[in-house]
Amino acid sequence: MKHTLLACLLLVFSIAELSAQITFQSKTNITTATGVNPYVMTSGNLNSDDLKDIVVVTRTGNTIEWYKNDLNNSGNFIKQTNITTTLTTIIGVNIADLNNDGFNDIIASGGGNNKLAWYPNNQSGGFGGERIISGVLTGPGHIVTGKIDANSSIDVAVADYGANSVLWFANDGSGTFSSANTVVNVPNSGPLDLDMADFDGDGDLDVVVAYNILGTVELYDNKLIQTGSVSFTKYDNTVSTGSDYIFDVSFADVNDDDILDIIKADVGGAGDATYYTTSSNTTSTTFNGTALTTSLTRIATATVADFNNDGYNDVLITSAQTTGADAVILESNNDGTFKPETIIADGLKQVYSVTVADFGNDGDQDIAMLSYQDSSIYFSLNNLIALGLDDANPNAFKLYPNPTANELTLQSNNNLVSDYTIFNNLGQKIISSALDVSKKINVSSLEAGLYFLKLNNYAETFKFIKE
C-alpha cells in the first residue's frame, strides 16, 4: 500500500531542475582558538534573526561555544560568550526548543563526569544556567532530539557508551525531564552514535544505533502507534556488520527513491561510507549495502543534502586524516549513483564533525567544519551557479532549505497564490493550509522523516526531509 500511495504522489511530482554545478568558495576560518579539541558541532537559529548560528563543544577544553552568524555584516561568524557549564569531556551537543518558548536551547553531554544537561535560551543573546537532565550516566555521548512519545514537547535521547545503552528522557513541555527510559541495552556493545526518524512511516520515531565495540548497526522500531506506549523492538536483521569503528550513522534518502535509507561512516582501518536500502517495509526486511566511492580514508562523517538544488540528494564525506583532502561531495546522477568526488576542503586536521545549513540565507546549502587537532572552525559557502530561477518559465519554483528543521521557503517568478498540502511518505495528509505573503511554511511540528509538499493551484509537488 505504501508504494502504491507513493507512486500516486510521484505521478504529479516535479521540481524546477536547475542546471547547477557543485562548487564552493575556499574555506574561511572562523577561529583558530576554540577550546582544545573541538569534537562536535551543530547549527540553528539561536537569536531570532532567521540566520543559522553555530554551536561547538570541545572534548579536552570542556567548553560549549556559540558563534553568531554575522555574514551579512562582517562576512564571518562572531564568537559569543562561552556557555557556563560543569560538563567535562564534552562529546555531544544538539539544539532544540525544550521549554516551548519559541527559542532554541542547547543540550550537551559530558562523558567525563557522566552528565546530560541543557541550557535555556534567555531570549536576549545568551543562555541561562545549566539544568541537569541526568547526572548518573556512564560516558554519555551523541544526542538526538524529537517527539519520541508523540506529544507536543521535544524529548532527548543519548548514547550512553559506558552503560552499553541508548536512553531517552521524556520532556513535560517545560524542560523538566523524566528519569531515563531505555531504548536498548546490549552488553559489551559500546553505542557511539544514533539517529531518529519515522523510518517505517507509521507516525512514530524509530532509532538507528551504531555500536563501536560490536562493529554493527542496528535498527529499532518504536511501537508507540501499535501499542499506545513507547517501546522499541529490534528489526530481525542487522543493518551492518564487520566495521572497525563506526563514527557516524543517520537516516536519509540517499538514492532518491523516496524511502529512507541508513548511511554510516567507518573511521577505523581504511574507512568507508556505505548506505543501506531495504527489501520491504516490515521489521523482517533485509538490508542491502552500497559502498560510496571516495579517495578519502578514515571516514568520519557522511552527510546527505541537496547541494545543487536539483531535487536530488548528494553526499558530503569528511576524513579523520591529518593530511590530504578533508571533505568531498559526491554529486547525485539522479538515478541512485554518484559522479566522481569534488574536493571541498583540505588542510584541516581530523574533521570529526560538520554541520550543513543555509548560512548565507540565499537558498543553498553551505558547510561548516571542525579541525580537531588544531582547535579551529571553518566554513565554506556554496557557489551555486544557478542561484536564480528560469526567467523564461513564469511557474518555476524553488523550495529551500532542504533538509529543514523548522521552516521551508518557496521562491517563484510569480506572486504564488496557492493552497498547499503536506503528505507523509505513506501518502497521508498531514497539513493543509494556504501560503501567506512571506511564502514561508512552518514544519517544526512534523516528526523527522520524508514528506511531500503539493502546491494545489499549480499541480507542483516537492519532496523534502524534516530533520
pLDDT in tens, 239-253: 999 999 999 999 999
Length, in residues, of the chain: 467
Report the predicted TM-score, pTM, of the whole model to 2 decimal places: 0.83
How far is it, in rounded angstroms, from Cα 434 to Cα 456? 9
Asked whether residue 333 is domain-assigned, the answer is yes
Are residues 163 and 200 located together in one domain of the fold? yes
Number of domains in the chain: 2
pLDDT of residue 466: 87
**Cell digits of residue 413:** 517568478
Residue % of the chain over a pLDDT of 90: 72
How far is it, in rounded angstroms, from Cα 201 to Cα 2? 9
H or E stretch at 251? strand 246-252
Are residues 457 and 419 located together in one domain of the fold? yes
User: Using an 8 Å Cβ cutoff, are 236 and 284 in contact?
Assistant: yes
The neighbour count for residue 393, using CB atoms within 10 Å, is 12
Report the mean per-residue pLDDT for the chain.
90
- Angstrom CA distances, 439 to 40, 103, 442, 444, 461, stand at 33, 22, 10, 16, 15
Are residues 344 and 427 located together in one domain of the fold? no
User: Which tens digit of pLDDT belongs to each residue from 72-124?
Assistant: 899 999 999 999 999 999 999 999 999 999 999 999 999 999 999 999 999 98
Are residues 336 and 402 located together in one domain of the fold? no
Domain boundary among 320, 348, 380: 380
Asked whether residue 22 is domain-assigned, the answer is no
Over range 134-152, report the average pLDDT. 96
Residue 206's domain comprises 28-380
**In this structure, is the dihedral angle defined by the CA atoms of residues 360, 123, 87 and 84, taken in order, positive or negative?**
positive
H or E stretch at 378? strand 376-380
User: Which tens digit of pLDDT belongs to each residue from 351-372?
Assistant: 999 999 999 988 889 999 999 9
Asked whether residue 252 is domain-assigned, the answer is yes
Are residues 412 and 325 located together in one domain of the fold? no
Asked whether residue 91 is domain-assigned, the answer is yes
User: Using an 8 Å Cβ cutoff, are 344 and 31 in contact?
Assistant: no
User: Which tens digit of pLDDT belongs to each residue from 163-173?
Assistant: 999 999 999 99
Are residues 140 and 270 located together in one domain of the fold? yes
Domain boundary among 321, 346, 380: 380
Are residues 324 and 405 located together in one domain of the fold? no
Asked whether residue 17 is domain-assigned, the answer is no
Over range 253-262, report the average pLDDT. 95
How far is it, in rounded angstroms, from Cα 50 to Cα 52? 7
User: Which tens digit of pLDDT belongs to each residue from 19-52?
Assistant: 457 889 999 999 999 999 999 999 999 998 889 9
Give the CATH number for residue 39: 2.130.10.130
pLDDT of residue 461: 81
Tell whether the model's pLDDT for residue 388 goes beyond 60: no
Are residues 245 and 121 located together in one domain of the fold? yes
Are residues 338 and 221 located together in one domain of the fold? yes
pLDDT of residue 413: 63
How far is it, in rounded angstroms, from Cα 47 to Cα 69? 10
- The residues, any chain, with a CB within 8 Å of residue 314's CB and separated by 6 or more, are 22, 304, 305, 306, 307, 308, 329, 330, 331, 332, 338
User: Using an 8 Å Cβ cutoff, are 220 and 231 in contact?
Assistant: no
User: Using an 8 Å Cβ cutoff, are 254 and 260 in contact?
Assistant: no
Give the CATH number for residue 409: 2.60.40.3080
Asked whether residue 18 is domain-assigned, the answer is no
Asked whether residue 5 is domain-assigned, the answer is no
Are residues 157 and 288 located together in one domain of the fold? yes
pLDDT confidence bin for 297, thresholds 50/70/90: very high
How far is it, in rounded angstroms, from Cα 232 to Cα 283? 12
Are residues 214 and 361 located together in one domain of the fold? yes
pLDDT of residue 390: 46
Tell whether the model's pLDDT for residue 1 goes beyond 60: no
Asked whether residue 329 is domain-assigned, the answer is yes
Domain boundary among 349, 380, 411: 380
pLDDT of residue 382: 92
Find, among 18, 14, 21, 15, the residue nearest to 391 by Cα: 18
Find, among 207, 158, 167, the residue nearest to 185 by Cα: 167
Task: Indicate the SS3 state at residue 43.
Answer: strand
Tell whether the model's pLDDT for residue 136 goes beyond 60: yes
Residue 436 C-alpha from the chain's centroid: 27
Find, among 187, 198, 192, the residue nearest to 217 by Cα: 192
Over range 380-395, report the average pLDDT. 59
Tell whether the model's pLDDT for residue 427 goes beyond 90: no
Are residues 351 and 403 located together in one domain of the fold? no
Least confident of 176-180, 304-308, 391-395: 391-395
